[in-house]
Each structure stands twice: as C-alpha cells, then as structure tokens.
Amino acid sequence: MRRKHSILFGVTCLAVALLVGRDAAAQGYSYPTPPPQNQPYEPPPEPKQREKVSAHRGFQGGFNIGVPIWLDVDTNVVRPGADLHFFGGYDMGYVMFGVDLGAMWTPIDGNQIPGVSNNPGRYPLTRLYVAPEVRVQVPNKSPVLPYVAITFDINWWHFRETAVGCNFWYCTQVNVFRFTPGFTAKAGIAFRIKQGAHIDLGMKYSLSGPGSFFPRREQWVTPYVGFFFR
C-alpha cells in the first residue's frame, strides 16, 4: 500500500513540474508585433547603381556646328561661315576610332575685292568632306571628358564653277567640285548632362593642301558647339 502511494506521489510531482515549466516557457516567448493599421507600404531601398567605369566600350556619335575663320586672308572678302559636322565611331574608353562627315560654307564678298569694279556680289565657297578620325580622351567618374583628336580629310571644294553635263535625254549645268587633301587637329571638353549624353565644346585647326583647287596651302580655325552620346 505504501509503495502504491509513493508511485502516485511521484507521478503527481512530475505532472506539476511539467506544467510549471510549460507556463514559464510560455511567459518567456516573444510574440511578433503586428504592423500598425493603415500604414503605407514602403519597399526596401534599392542598392545604389554602380557608376560607369572608365573602361567604356561601345558606339559614340554626335554632331556639332562651328564657325570657320580663315587665316592669312583678307577678312573683308573671306567672311566667317558655318560648318555642319557629323561623326560616329567605336569608343574603347581612352581612344575612339571613327569617321567624320560634313559640309562647310564660307561667304566670299566679291564687292570687297580690290580692283574689281563689275560688282560680282557675294557667293559661298562650299566644302564637302569625309575623314577618318582618331580621338584620345580621358574617361573618369566626373561629368567632364577632355579629348584631343586628329582627322585626315578628303575635301571637295566648289566656288561658282559649273560645267555642262549631258545624258541620253538632255543636258544641264552642274556644279564642279575639286579635290584637295588635308588634315584637322581638334581639342575639346564634353560635359555630361545625363547618363551617356554630353554637351561638346571645342576648337578645330584645319589645313588644306593645294590639290586641284587652291594655288597654295590654306588654313582656318573653327570653334564649335555640339552634342554627342557614348
């Protein structure tokens, strides 16, 4: 009988111990706090976009408008004109290989030529050109991109010269363009206005050999402003 009471007492003590331990564990457990009601959802902040590295590779292209100013000429006769220039090439970071295309117009005021009395008027000197270009630039993480470049120019010039061209049906008067070789050196600074887009400011020095148009070497400078992307 005593043994039976001892077993019953032990079972009762074990049950009480289990209940006490369960209550203590329940009191020590931390429940998650529910979010407040009617609070707008805010997504987690996105990681910052990595800045473009200087070792850029890709297409570069753009255009600019300049004002050619001729050197060693009578500025009353040869007036400042306009130069419309397009370029495109493969940008490898520190160097760009490309091709330039453009057209240039220079007003020639014949009324200012000494010794001419028949009032020839004002006519444009027209230049069409294509040129391979090599550009060296300094890519960096700032919004400023300095560069220098050189091109080898293939020029065609026209000034009031015409000829008669005929086909099977009729003849017509056409403008005559004459070839001269040349080169251009330029330096500029591009200012990034947004990712990949730049405002371009610079100066070009150009030289044309005699070829089949000029009787001597001619040279001019062209300040320009434009836009390009890379």
10 Å CB burial of residue 131 (0-12, 13-18, 19+) is buried
pLDDT in tens, 57-79: 789 999 999 999 999 998 888 99
Paired with 197 in beta bridges are 194, 229
Are 109 and 158 a contacting pair, CB within 8 Å? no
Burial (Cβ within 10 Å: 0-12, 13-18, ≥19) of residue 96: buried
91 in any annotated domain: yes
pLDDT of residue 67: 97
| Residue length of the chain | 230
The answer to whether residue 30 is domain-embedded is no
Q: Is residue 27 part of a domain?
A: no
**Alpha carbon 176 to its chain's center:** 35
* 208, amino acid identity: S
| Residue 142: per-residue pLDDT | 87
45 occurs within a structural domain:
no
Is 100 among the domain residues? yes
pLDDT of residue 140: 83
> What CATH code is carried by the domain that includes residue 142?
2.40.160.20
Written as one string, the DSSP assignment of 164-185 is EEE-SS-EEEEE--EEEEEEEE
**Can you give the pLDDT at residue 49?**
44
Q: Is residue 20 included in any domain, yes or no? A: no
Residue 25 lies inside a defined structural domain of this protein = no
| Predicted local distance difference test score (pLDDT) of residue 42 | 67
Number of domain units in the chain: 1
- Regions of the chain where pLDDT drops below 50: 24-26, 29, 49-54
CA–CA separation, 135 and 120 (whole Å): 42
pLDDT at 53: 47
Q: What is the predicted pLDDT for the residue at 152?
A: 96
Helix %, strand %, coil % of the chain (to 5): 15, 50, 35
Residue numbers of the domain that contains 193: 64-229
pLDDT at residue 126, rounded to an integer: 96
Q: Is residue 89 part of a domain?
A: yes
